[in-house]
Structure 1
């Protein structure tokens, strides 16, 4: 079989961050061991898993913290080089979302050696190495296993000045929300897998997934940026609910302000909705208003290598918007935060 004949997405029922465990299942797994990952359990541990943040942060002295994260998944595109690029971009995003600068990465590879040629895995690694080079770091090694489905990702380390460390649980009432990439990656990827996608739309999704979120390092230095996280497998709604729940806030999001990949309505109508969408919705529906199936499909769409969700004080909105515009990223606010009206944080959706 020639490399050009291989369709990697056919080797896994799920794809990209859509294969993540649902928030409910993850909560069941992590709750019993939560105490070992709280910041108070180790004086040097600044961020553990109790806040479900993007990376762990450890105080290494001198006003700096070491960031550590890992991310891997099954193929979301057919091209092996692009799969490597996307997986690397997605893993690096966790460092940028914390306001850090990546320093080194190692690879995580699971490969069905009796089904897919080693040369295809080499292309995956080549794609990841190209992205690491773009980020200014080395892909310095890794670990591999023989497994029934292909998986790939990175473990990444980074550094951040503690005064610029950003978390997902530090947003404040009155903040404005920004999102730096278009939504709909999961929907478009499902359309690719089912041979229902328009070629320009497939290219738009791939380009988005391959774009580094390195703008996060610059935005973290803004005094008015209060919180930051990247939007991945739980969808915009899931990650926003995490952000507001942890800070006892409500969110008002404007539907017409959301950046979207092209022709999502067409693909949703054709049934190109990932399985992870329903799991995401079930995990957070108590925080949501009554929504149409299309809006659920978009808001709960599992994103792979999605954009940064940024919470910003009113006095910094113009500066953040201008910085995003100069980087050719979506720069219009998508919503605002306010103090919770009830015991359960609410995500409200306006037109």
Structure 2
């Protein structure tokens, strides 16, 4: 009798952006690292935990550089490649830029996975890059204990259209372009508890490119953009709040969710990353009295290839929500506002 075929998710200790280092651990590791301010052309470094680095070439052009990779959150290798590629390219869109090329990052247990499986991962990533209109121009591969795939992506942006996470203004409305709950879905997948419809819903969301970021950056009324990934809506909201010296007020009931997010959270399909996230930044968050544990887990839930969190002038918010929905993001919603103060408050 042949041994049962290994599922990709069985080979990984985490899944998607849920395998990111916890925010507190990352801050500790980066403490004391040289700051980028000594390089005047470096418009964005790691000072505000933004989505990508930006280097100004001249008055018309800046280069955006990012890298992102992780272990599988789904068992379909082609889908894994597509999700990882979309997640990496998202950082370029979150800065308001257009991607121009990518390099593949590949680590695979070559003695445990057939070559065809690995080939499908690469083909999946290539297919998303084709949708974004960019080549995979090279890359690097290693023999690894766990399957790892992602991209280093290069993009371009006009310096005046670059959008940071540090420029949210008091009074702005906050828009989230995709539904939350990816980590809950991936937890259920890992435990074999999510049906095909649920898997398809999650893959559809995580492979939807955040190309709307380019249009958002064309509008001076859009002040700040970031993408919501491994630290959850609370963690990435806190990055905006800290960088902008402001407070984010987020309405829990207004947050868009994947259709089974609440159900799965209440059933206990919660990633370890969600708990690590809360331990790292919970002291900066104000929750409503009596907030149930499952709802807190949803707020901390690590998103892989999640939506864009957009800070926009309030008089333009409704029009932008409609425009984003018309652009192919049906769950886009106004989820809160920017106020004076610090941290994140959930209403």
Is 1:180 paired with 2:177? yes
Match of 2:302 in 1: 302
Q: Which residue of 1 aligns with 2:250?
A: 253
Aligned to 1:242: 239
Report the Cα offset of residue 256 of structure 1.
1.4
CA deviation after TM superposition for structure 1 residue 264, in Å: 2.3
- The answer as to 2:103 corresponding to 1:102 is no
1:255 shift after superposition? 1.4
Structure 1 equivalent of residue 18 of structure 2: 18
Residue aligned with 1:334, SS: strand
Distance 2:117 2:239 in 1: 37
SS across alignment from 1:61: coil
1:317 aligns with 2:317: yes
**TM-align CA RMSD:** 1.5
| Superposition deviation, residue 267 in structure 1 | 1.7
Q: Tell me if structure 2 keeps the 8 A contact 1:101–1:158.
A: yes
Give the match's secondary structure for 2:286: coil
Shift of 1:168: 0.7
Do 1:34 and 1:50's aligned partners in 2 also have CA atoms closer than 8 Å?
no
Q: Distance in 2 between matches of 1:259 and 1:270?
A: 19
CA distance in 2, matches of 1:265, 1:173: 31
Cα-to-partner distance string for 1:102-138 (whole Å, 9 max, x where unaligned): 0000100001111111221111000000000000000
1:56 lines up with 2:53 in the alignment: yes
Report the CA distance between 1:263 and its aligned residue. 2.1
CA–CA distance in 2 between the matches of 1:163 and 1:112? Answer: 44
Which runs of 5 or more structure 2 residues have no equivalent in the other structure?
none
| Match for residue 126 of structure 1 among 102, 123, 133 | 123
| 2:326 alignment partner in structure 1 | 326
Q: Match of 1:69, SS? A: strand
Instruction: Report what 2:283 is aligned to.
Output: 286
Contact 2:8/2:72 (<8 A) preserved: yes
Q: For 2:116 and 2:308, how far apart are their aligned partners in 1?
A: 34
Counterparts of 1:195-274 in structure 2, within 5 Å, are 195-274=192-271
Q: Tell me, in whole angstroms, the C-alpha distance in 2 between the residues paired with 1:113 and 1:280.
A: 32
Kindly provide the CA deviation profile for residues 269-325 of structure 1, in whole angstroms up to 9, marking residues without a partner as x. 332100000010111111222432011111100000000000001232133123112
The answer for the alignment partner of 1:338 in structure 2 is 339
1:113 and 2:110 aligned? yes
Match of 2:41 in 1: 44
CA–CA distance in 2 between the matches of 1:308 and 1:227? 10
Q: TM-score, normalised by structure 1?
A: 0.94
Q: TM-score, normalised by structure 2?
A: 0.95
Query: How far apart are the structure 1 equivalents of 2:158 and 2:343?
Result: 33
Tell me which residue corresponds to 1:169: 166
8 Å Cα contact 1:8/1:80 also seen in 2: yes
Runs of 5+ in structure 1 lacking a partner? Answer: none
Aligned residues: 342
60-69 vs 320-329, which deviates more? Answer: 320-329
CA–CA distance in 2 between the matches of 1:319 and 1:261?
A: 23
Is 1:149 aligned to 2:150, yes or no? no
Q: Which moved more, 1:251-260 or 1:172-181?
A: 251-260
